[in-house]
Chain A
Amino acid sequence: MLARLADILLFQAGFNTAVVTAGTTLLGIAAGIVGIFVVLRRRALVADAVSHGTLPGVALAFLGAVALGMEGRSLPVLLTGAAVTGVLAVLTVQWIRDNTRLPEDAAIGTVLSVFFGVGVVLLSHIQTLPGGGQAGLETFLLGAAATMNRAEAVTIAVAAIVALAAVALLHKEFAVLAFDHDWAAARGWHTRLLDLALMALLVLVVIIGLKAVGLVLVIALVIVPPATARLWCGRIGPMTLLAGAFGGIAGWAGTAASALFADLPAGAVIVLVAAGMFGASLLVAPERGAFATLLRTARQRRALAARAMHEAG
């Protein structure tokens, strides 16, 4: 079994498994790197609204494709639908925030659950259709990396590379947007456009994460690796690279584990790997980790006590 695990991790377990593992690894890297800017811009919860908002889109795209006599399970069709309602969810949150007295968190909670509810109703309806039960749409809830075919994995990999290229070009501007929005606007930057670009990248990462990780858990891939990276360093440059690395490791190791144990949902395993790295970092990270903080405080208190005794003679 260990030999098989090593084969998967080293991309030796057959071409299909290798492609799928590479796809989810790239997904993890892109999610971690886009996630840094999403978290610093304080849009982490909006990411959750996007992911839950995709479910009605997936279902409607399936119904629409079937009605038109097309293949309902085609991933590009389903993800297009997912992107449309995911974006619609963000726009609804923004509209509620700007035009009512509800604060943003309440708006997110409302929109997230309503969109998800609509999606679940549509999904139940699809289950009753002839052939609907075999559509496999429920895999979008918790992800099914192992059942991805080669074309799907390649789609995910390409989209992840597009997201990475966009961040490589705009990271400097995203950082200013997140740190000092008003200052950027005062310079005449189109901050609204820049925010939209960041949201677009977030939507991209979320929808390509749907198939592998599932919409319930994909937000973890956007938030946990950046949170882990933050424990290790204090500068945005290294932090971004680390978040990509942590996300990549989670995607890679999580997919391998779920390929080994067919019953394990890949999304949950990927998130658990990410959470494991976060937990370990919380304890052992230098400077910001719990142990380091404890040791430092104890040392400083001892030094203080020694000085006080010295001064008291």
Chain B
Amino acid sequence: MTPPPVTIVDSERPAPWAIAPDVPLALRGLTVAYRATPALWNVDWDAPAGAMSAIVGPNGAGKSTLLKSVLGLVPTLAGEVRVFGAPLAKARGDVAYVPQRNAVDWDFPASALDVVAMGLYGRIGWCRPVRRRHREAARARLAEVGMADLADRQIGELSGGQQQRVFIARALAQQARLVMLDEPFAGVDAATEHALVTVLRGLAATGVAVVAVHHDLATLADTFDHALLLNVRRIAAGPVSEVLTEEALQRAYGGRLAPTQLRALARAV
């Protein structure tokens, strides 16, 4: 891939230090490269509070990379990330991360409750034991995702959808104002996806910013309020209905979707 030409930074956009503390997540000129190949190029975006935002785009568009660079798991080459107006290092407690389900080994010897209790470790502190009240708090978070009966079940014995619920319950336990999920609906059936969406919507209704990497354009409009359409660069961002235009999809997916598919998707919104 040849690197895109350098764009002149728009002097109209607010400088990183001028970002209001009520913006859950603000990216300015975010650029990430794996070795010499750009994965994200000069991305600007503000994720709104109290809403469900999707990061969408074709394979290799940099969706997961964006998530990981925001969380400090992948180094950024240039640009700024602000979480509630602050650099990430000062805002870690405000962010909860839900990794891809297949990123961990589910044979790990733990119960659903054990995993959810990890979300409380920030409050419990290093080198201190998990106490009864922490376990009760974790049990309550599991109940919120409809898993109260399975709290003591070995995580390896849970279905894919139940494992995803455990991960979301762990994020709930962190009581973060920004929740970032990597493909939360990958490999779960439609009924489970609906249940997960209900939980996340409830979370957004309390003012939390929910940001998820999502790959299914067909369910985008039903599930999310906002979207960032990405293909290494930002193609479009805003309310889903404004993002899913035929022209924007053509630019993001050009060559990967047939013109009839593009039109059908744009019309469906």
Which residues of A pack against B, CB within 8 Å? 40, 169-170, 172-173, 175-176, 178-180, 182-183, 185-188, 230, 233-236, 239
Q: In the complex, which of the residues A40, A180, A183, A235 contacts B111, with contact meaning CB atoms closer than 8 Å?
A: A235
- Whether B80 is near chain A, meaning CB under 8 Å from some CB there, is no
Complex Cα distance, B118 from A169, in Å, reads 16
User: What B residues does A170 contact at CB under 8 A?
Assistant: 126-127
User: What A residues does B110 contact at CB under 8 A?
Assistant: 175, 179, 235-236
Complex Cα distance, B91 from A188, in Å, reads 10
User: What A residues does B68 contact at CB under 8 A?
Assistant: 182
Given A187-B122, A188-B89, A233-B109, 16 other A-B residues pairs in contact with their CB atoms under 8 A = A172-B121, A173-B121, A173-B127, A176-B121, A178-B108, A179-B105, A179-B108, A179-B118, A182-B73, A183-B97, A185-B71, A186-B72, A188-B88, A234-B109, A234-B156, A235-B114
- Whether B99 is near chain A, meaning CB under 8 Å from some CB there, is yes
Shortest distance from the beta carbon of A47 to any chain B beta carbon, whole Å: 18
Number of residue pairs spanning A and B whose beta carbons lie under 8 angstroms apart: 67
Which residues of B pack against A, CB within 8 Å? 68, 71-73, 88-89, 92, 95, 97, 99, 103-105, 108-111, 114-115, 118, 121-122, 124, 126-130, 154, 156
Contacts A173-B126, A187-B122 known; A180 to B92 CB distance under 8 Å?
Answer: no
Q: Which partner residue on chain B sits nearest A240 by CB separation?
A: B109
User: What B residues does A180 contact at CB under 8 A?
Assistant: 99, 103-104, 118
Whether the Cβ atoms of B108 and A186 lie closer than 8 Å is no
Q: In the complex, which of the residues A175, A178, A234 contacts B154, with contact meaning CB atoms closer than 8 Å?
A: A234
Cross-chain pairs A/B with CB under 8 angstroms, 9 sampled: A178-B108, A179-B110, A180-B103, A186-B72, A186-B97, A187-B97, A187-B121, A236-B108, A236-B110
Q: In the complex, which of the residues B72, B89, B127 contacts A169, with contact meaning CB atoms closer than 8 Å?
A: B127
User: What A residues does B88 contact at CB under 8 A?
Assistant: 188
Shortest distance from the beta carbon of A282 to any chain B beta carbon, whole Å: 17
User: What B residues does A186 contact at CB under 8 A?
Assistant: 71-73, 95, 97
User: What A residues does B115 contact at CB under 8 A?
Assistant: 179
Whether the Cβ atoms of A236 and B122 lie closer than 8 Å is no
Whether the Cβ atoms of B73 and A179 lie closer than 8 Å is no
Whether the Cβ atoms of B109 and A235 lie closer than 8 Å is yes
Complex Cα distance, B108 from A170, in Å, reads 18
Complex Cα distance, B86 from A188, in Å, reads 15
Complex Cα distance, B138 from A167, in Å, reads 24
Complex Cα distance, B111 from A233, in Å, reads 12
User: What B residues does A176 contact at CB under 8 A?
Assistant: 118, 121
User: What A residues does B99 contact at CB under 8 A?
Assistant: 180, 182-183
Whether the Cβ atoms of B154 and A185 lie closer than 8 Å is no
Whether the Cβ atoms of A230 and B72 lie closer than 8 Å is no
User: What B residues does A183 contact at CB under 8 A?
Assistant: 97, 99, 118
Shortest distance from the beta carbon of B207 to any chain A beta carbon, whole Å: 21
Shortest distance from the beta carbon of A236 to any chain B beta carbon, whole Å: 5
Whether the Cβ atoms of A172 and B129 lie closer than 8 Å is yes
User: What B residues does A178 contact at CB under 8 A?
Assistant: 108
7 closest Cβ pairs, A-B complex = A188-B92, A186-B97, A186-B71, A169-B127, A236-B109, A234-B154, A179-B108
Complex Cα distance, B122 from A186, in Å, reads 12
Whether the Cβ atoms of B109 and A230 lie closer than 8 Å is yes
Complex Cα distance, B68 from A40, in Å, reads 24
Complex Cα distance, B129 from A120, in Å, reads 46
Task: Please indicate which of the listed interface residues B89, B99, B156 has the most CB atoms of chain A within 10 Å of its own CB.
Answer: B99
User: What B residues does A173 contact at CB under 8 A?
Assistant: 121, 126-127
Shortest distance from the beta carbon of B101 to any chain A beta carbon, whole Å: 11
Complex Cα distance, B124 from A187, in Å, reads 14
Shortest distance from the beta carbon of A60 to any chain B beta carbon, whole Å: 36
User: What B residues does A233 contact at CB under 8 A?
Assistant: 109
Complex Cα distance, B114 from A27, in Å, reads 29
Shortest distance from the beta carbon of B36 to any chain A beta carbon, whole Å: 16
User: What A residues does B108 contact at CB under 8 A?
Assistant: 40, 178-179, 236
